[in-house]
Structure 1
Amino acid sequence: MAHNAPYKICFVPKSREEEEEDEKIYKSYEEIISKLPTVEGWSGKPVYQYQGFWYNSDLVGVGPLAVQNHFTSKPTDILLASTPKCGSTWLKSLAFAVMNRKTHLPSTHQHPLLTFNSHDLVPVLEIRLYNNNLNGNQIPNLEILPSPRLFGTHMPYTSLPQSITHSDHARIVYICRNTKDNLVSWWHFVNKIRSNISLEPIKLEEAFQWFCKGMSVFGPFWDHVLGYWKGSLERPRNVLFLKYDEMLAEPVLHLKKMADFMGCPFSLMEEKEGLVDQIIKLCSFESLSNLEVNKGGTSHLGLTYNAYFRQGKVGDSANYLTPEMIEQLDHITEQKLHGSGLTL
C-alpha cells in the first residue's frame, strides 16, 4: 500500500529563515482566532466563528485564514466544494477519474483510486494543506503540483480567496444534499470521531438543536448552500451546482455535465467505448467502500477511511428523525431558501 499521498510533495524542507517566517505568520493567525467567538463543538473540540461560519479548531486549525492569505488560484484550477457529508468523497473520486482518464484508464488495475482514498488525491485546502495542526506551521508550496490542479474545500463561497471568486477561468464544482440526510450523516460521522477520542456519543436530539441553530461545522448549512447557489447563478461558467440526490438518480447525465464543465468533455469514441460507465463503476459506493485502502487505511483524523462510507443512500434520515424534527427542518429550509429558486 502506498504511504505518501501525492500532495505531500508540497511540503519540502525549508531553510531555517523560511520556517521561522511561516511560524510567525501562523502565530499571527492564532492570535486573531483567539479573539473570535468560541464554543465547544460537536466533536468535543472548540469551534470558532469566522466570517459568519463555524470551524473546528482541531480539524482546520487556522486553515481558513491561511487559505485566504496564501492560496493563489491558477486559471486551470478546479475546486470541489461542499459542506461535510454531502457526497464529497464520491465527487472527488469522479472528478479525479475524469480529469486523469488519459493517463489512468478507469479499467486499469493500477488506478490511483485503488491505492489512495480520494481525500488524499484531492486534498482539502483548509484541512490538509494550510492546517497548522497537521503540517507543523509550514505553508505549502502548491506551485510544485502539476496543472490542472484539483483541490477540495468546505469553506463557504463568501470566504474563498478572491483569486478564485474573481477569476474568469478557475472553476468550482459544488455538491449539496437534502438537509435531513446531511444532518443524520454528519451526526453518525461525528460520533465516530467522538468514539475515536473516547467521548460518549452525542444524542441525535442535541445534534438536531445545534444543526437548527446553524452551529454545525462549516455551518450554518443553509447559508453555505445558498452562497454557492448564488455564485452559480451569477457566474454559471465558473460555478457548477450539483445535488447529490439527483446525481445518484442519473449518474451518466451528471458525470457528462461535470466533464463538460471541467473542460474535459467525453468524446463520442470514449462514450462508445463505455468510459463513462467505467468511471461510474470505479467510483461507485460498492466499489470504493470495498477497497483495501478504504477499509483499513487511516485518515488525518485518526479515523479509518471506512468511516467515510456509511450507506450513501437518499432518504435514510427518515429512519432516525421524528416527524416533528422532519417538519421543523423542512420549515427552516423553506424559510431560508425562500425566493432563491433553490429547493432541497
Structure 2
Amino acid sequence: MAQLSNNVIKCVEEEEKEEDYLLSKEWKGLVSTLPKEQGWLSRNIYKYQGFWYDTKHIQGVLSLQKHFKAKEKDIILVTTPKSGSTWIKALAFALLNRHKYPNAQKNHPLLTNNPHLLVPFLEISLYSKKDFVPNLDSIPSPRLLSTHLPFVSLPESIKNVNCKIVYLCRDPKDVFVSLSIDESFKQFCRGVSPFGPFWEHALGYQKESLKRSDKIMILTFEKMKLHPELVLKELAKFIGCPFSKEELSKGMVDDILNLCSFDNLSNLEVNKNGKLPNGAEAKVFFRRGKIGDWKNYLTTQKIQKLDTIIENTLAKHGLTF
C-alpha cells in the first residue's frame, strides 16, 4: 500500500512539473478545472470546448484565442494531425510564392526548409510558449498560417473577418494508423484523441462551408492523391492566385506538384536529417503518403468499427473518402 501511495505521489508531482513547465500562470487555474484523461501521446489530455488537447498544446490554444488578430486576406490551413498537413502546407506555399520563386528546382525555400517552418502552426508553434505573445504584424499579406483547431475553438477574429480557410480531411482509418494502434483504438473511437473527436472536427468545418463556401474550402486527402492537377487549380483559384493560361501552357501545375510530391520532399536532406526548432525530427512528418494503408494494419473488427462510426457521423453529412 505504501508503495502504491508513493507511486501516486510521484505521478502527481510529475504532472505538476509538466504543467509548471508548459503552462503560464494565466491558464493554470482554467486548465485545472478541465476534464482530463490519460493520453496515449502525452501524460494527460484535456477536454476544452468539446475537444481534447495535450498539455503541450492547451497553452497555445488558450493564448491563440486571446491574442491572435486575423486579417481579411489571411489564409488559414486547417487539418487534424496526420491528415496531410505537410503536403497542403507545401502546395499552398508554392502556389502563393510561385512568382517570387518561378524556378521550382533552384533556390526554392521548400528545398531547404521543412514545410512546417514555412507555414507554422499557430497553437503548436507560434503561440505555444508560456508568457510570450508573438508579433505577426510583420508577416506580409496574405499571411499563410495553419492550425489543428476545430471551428468552434478558432479565435473569434478568424470567424469575424471572413479570411479564407482551407480544411483538409482524410479517411479516419488512415489517420488512425498514422498515430498508433492497439493502445489508442478505443480512445480514438470515443473521440479522445489530440484535437478530437475527429468526426466532430470535420463536421464543424463541413457545416460552416455550406453556409459560406466562398470562404471555407473542404478538401480530402484522397481527392488530392487521385486528382492532384484538378485540386491544385481549385486551390489556387480559391486562395486568390489562379493560374494564368501562360502558366498552364508552361507546365507550372506539374512543376509545383513535382516540387511538393511526397517522394521529392521526403528525400530532401532537410527532411531526412533535419530537425524543427522544438527538436522534432523532420522525417516524422513523412510517413507513407498513401491511400488505404490502413488495410495493412487494422483487423477486420477494427475496420468495421471505424466504418460504422464514419457512416453514422461523416457520411450522412456528405463527407466521404
- TM-score, structure 2 as length reference: 0.90
Alignment map for 1:107-186 (pairs within 5 Å):
107-132=104-129, 136-168=130-162, 170-186=163-179
C-alpha RMSD over aligned residues = 1.4
Q: Does 1:81 align with 2:78?
A: yes
SS in 1 for 2:77: strand
The residue aligned with 2:318 is: 341
Match in the other structure for 2:15: none
Change (3 A) 1:105 1:218: same
From the superposition, tell whether residues 338 and 148 of structure 1 become closer, same or farther in structure 2 (CA, over 3 Å): closer
Q: What secondary structure sits across from 1:174 in the alignment? A: strand
Structure 2 residue aligned with 1:247: 224
Helix, strand or coil at the partner of 2:137: helix
**Pick aligned residue for 2:36 from 19, 30, 38:** 38
The 2-side partners of 1:39 and 1:213 are apart by 12
Does residue 274 of structure 2 align to residue 280 of structure 1?
Answer: no
Q: Give the SS at the match of 1:39.
A: strand
Note closer, same or farther for the CA distance 1:301–1:217 as it changes in structure 2 (3 Å cut): farther
Q: Deviations over 1:134-191 (max 9, x none)?
A: xx521001111111100010000111112112223x100010101111100122xxxx
CA shift for structure 1 position 303: 2.6
The answer as to 2:243 corresponding to 1:266 is yes
Distance across 1 between alignment mates of 2:27 and 2:144 = 26
**Deviation (angstroms), 1:274:** 0.7
Q: Which residue of 1 aligns with 2:60?
A: 63
The 1:108–1:319 alpha-carbon spacing in structure 2 relative to 1, beyond 3 Å, is closer
Q: Does the CA contact (< 8 Å) of 1:97 and 1:106 recur in 2?
A: no
Q: Which residue matches 1:16?
A: none
- Does 258-267 or 100-109 show the bigger shift? 100-109
Q: Give the Cα separation in 2 of the matches to 1:152 and 1:263.
A: 17
Question: In the alignment, is the contact (CA less than 8 A) between 2:42 and 2:55 conserved in 1?
Answer: no
Give percent identity, aligned residues only.
49
2: distance between equivalents of 1:248 and 1:301?
A: 30
Counterparts of 1:303-322 in structure 2 under 5 Å? Answer: 303-322=280-299
Query: Could you tell me how far apart the structure 2 residues matched to 1:61 and 1:164 are?
Result: 19
Q: Distance in 1 between matches of 2:228 and 2:315?
A: 28
Structure 2 Cα separation of the partners of residues 99 and 44 of structure 1? 35
> Displacement, 1:226?
0.4
SS of equivalent residue, structure 1 residue 252: helix
Aligned-partner residue type, residue 28 of structure 1: E
- Asked if 1:72 corresponds to 2:69, the answer is yes
Alpha-carbon distance between aligned partners in 1 of 2:49 and 2:40, rounded to the nearest angstrom: 20
Cα drift, residue 224 of structure 1: 0.4
Q: How many residues in Structure 1 have an aligned counterpart in Structure 2?
A: 299
Structure 1 position 94 matched with structure 2 position 86: no
Deviation string 1:272-322 (CA, Å, 9 cap, x unpaired) is 111110000000000000001101111245331111111100001001101
* Structure 1 runs of 4+ with >3 Å offset: none
Amino acid at match of 2:45: V
User: Which whole-Å CA distance do the structure 2 matches of 1:342 and 1:274 have between them?
Assistant: 32
Instruction: Specify every segment of 5 or more residues in structure 2 that has no aligned partner in the other structure, as ranges.
Output: 1-22
Q: 8 Å contact 1:79–1:152 — kept in the other structure?
A: yes
Provide the rounded CA distance (Å) in 1 between the counterparts of 2:122 and 2:151. 13
Q: Deviations over 1:183-216 (max 9, x none)?
A: 00122xxxxxxxxxxxxxxxx2221111101011
Q: TM-score, normalised by structure 1?
A: 0.84
Match of 1:28 among 22, 26, 29: 26
Query: Which consecutive residues of structure 1, in runs of 5 or more, have no partner in the other structure?
Result: 1-24, 188-203
1:286-305 to 2 correspondences below 5 Å = 286-305=263-282
- Report SS of the residue matched to 2:218: strand
Provide closer, same or farther for how the CA distance between residues 101 and 338 of structure 1 changes in structure 2, counting only shifts above 3 A: closer
* Letter in structure 2 aligned against 1:152: S
Could you list the per-position Cα deviations for residues 35-94 of structure 1 after superposition, in whole angstroms to 9, with x for gaps in the alignment? 111222112322111101011112x24111111111111111000001010001000000
| Equivalent pair of 2:77/2:166 in contact (CA under 8 Å) | yes
Query: 1:282 corresponds to which letter in structure 2?
Result: L
